[in-house]
Amino acid sequence: MRGKRFAVLAAVIALVSGASTADAIVGGTPARVADTPWVVAITTPDGQLICGGALVAADKVVTAAHCATLKGVMSRNQRPAEQLRVVAGRTDLRVKTDGTEAAVADVWRHPGFREVTKGDDVAVLTLARPLPYRTIALGDAGDEGTVLGWGRTAENTPPAMTLRKVTVPILSDSECVLKEPDYRPGGMLCAGRGGRDACTGDSGGPLVVRGRLAGVVSFGRGCARADEPGVYTRLAHYRSTLGF
């Protein structure tokens, strides 16, 4: 009797706190890199997760500019290429023998990038060697997309470290402007109505629409909150700048 009461109470607490045992990227499911071989993790040389990214050529990774930026009060300097690794073909980042790692030879950050809320949050990493994985082409936004990453499954958990994915509705510019004061139509898109979202550690990772790379995880207020959509860099806006 006591046990049952406790279970009911625990379920109610989980509901009102927004927590869920079946959570994911947030609200998603496990994914395998074998199904999405172009999704990559960006790590420090000792294997700590920094961000996600997408292989757009054998030796080019699209990610967020803030993923290639040093953290610090005084510095928005570029993170040196030697401090970045790209990991492909590894569903569970703790299994260091899976997949392939590549050093980064060059970092291109959008020259307009200052901070995520001001936009231009896109970067291209050139790898020291080509990776033997399928690439993904750039594409346009649509009504919904799938976002992938190794990041947090709720606002205050550690990163999952295993690849997860979730489908999110893509909102209109007018709805994004209403819900996110820092939203700027043009180079951004926003997605999510609560329950399903990208979260910390998923930054830089891909938003895929109809099999093409439409967005890069950029920022948001918390994760998966009902009236706080996730904000993404809209890649179609940068197609000529990126040059592929």
Q: Is 237 a catalytic residue?
A: no
C-beta closer to ligand 4AZ: residue 51 or 131: 51
Number of residues that bind ligand 4AZ (CB under 6 A): 11
Q: Is 43 in the site for ligand 4AZ (CB under 6 A)?
A: no
C-beta closer to ligand 4AZ: residue 88 or 147: 147
Cα–Cα nearest to 63, from 240, 233, 244, 243: 233
Among residues 220, 233, 234, 235, the one that binds ligand 4AZ under rule CB under 6 A: 220
The backbone torsions φ and ψ at residue 16, rounded to the nearest 5 degrees and listed phi first, read -70, -30
Cα–Cα nearest to 203, from 66, 54, 82: 66
CB distance 206 to 55 below 8 Å: no
Which range in 13-21, 132-140, 171-179, 193-201 contacts ligand 4AZ by CB under 6 A?
193-201
Q: Is 230 in the site for ligand 4AZ (CB under 6 A)?
A: yes
Residue matched to tokens 């180079």: 187
Residue matched to tokens 């996110």: 180
Tokens of 4: 């049952």
Q: Is 203 a catalytic residue?
A: yes
CB distance 219 to 205 below 8 Å: no
C-beta closer to ligand 4AZ: residue 146 or 200: 200
Burial 79-97 (b: 16+ CB within 10 A, else e): bebeebbbbbbbbbbeeee
Among residues 33, 196, 202, 238, the one that binds ligand 4AZ under rule CB under 6 A: 202
Q: Is 203 in the site for ligand 4AZ (CB under 6 A)?
A: yes
Q: Is 66 a catalytic residue?
A: yes
**DSSP state string for 52-64:** EEEEEETTEEEE-
CB distance 76 to 68 below 8 Å: no
Tokens of 123: 């970067």
Report, in Å, the least distance between residue 197 CB and ligand 4AZ: 4
Q: Is 59 in the site for ligand 4AZ (CB under 6 A)?
A: no
Report, in Å, the least distance between residue 105 CB and ligand 4AZ: 25
What residues numbered 14-33 form the site for ligand 4AZ, per CB under 6 A? none
Which range in 3-11, 93-101, 176-184, 219-227 contacts ligand 4AZ by CB under 6 A?
219-227
Q: Which residues are catalytic?
A: 66, 121, 203
Question: Which residue ranges make up the site for ligand 4AZ (CB under 6 A)?
Answer: 197-200, 202-203, 217, 219-220, 223, 230
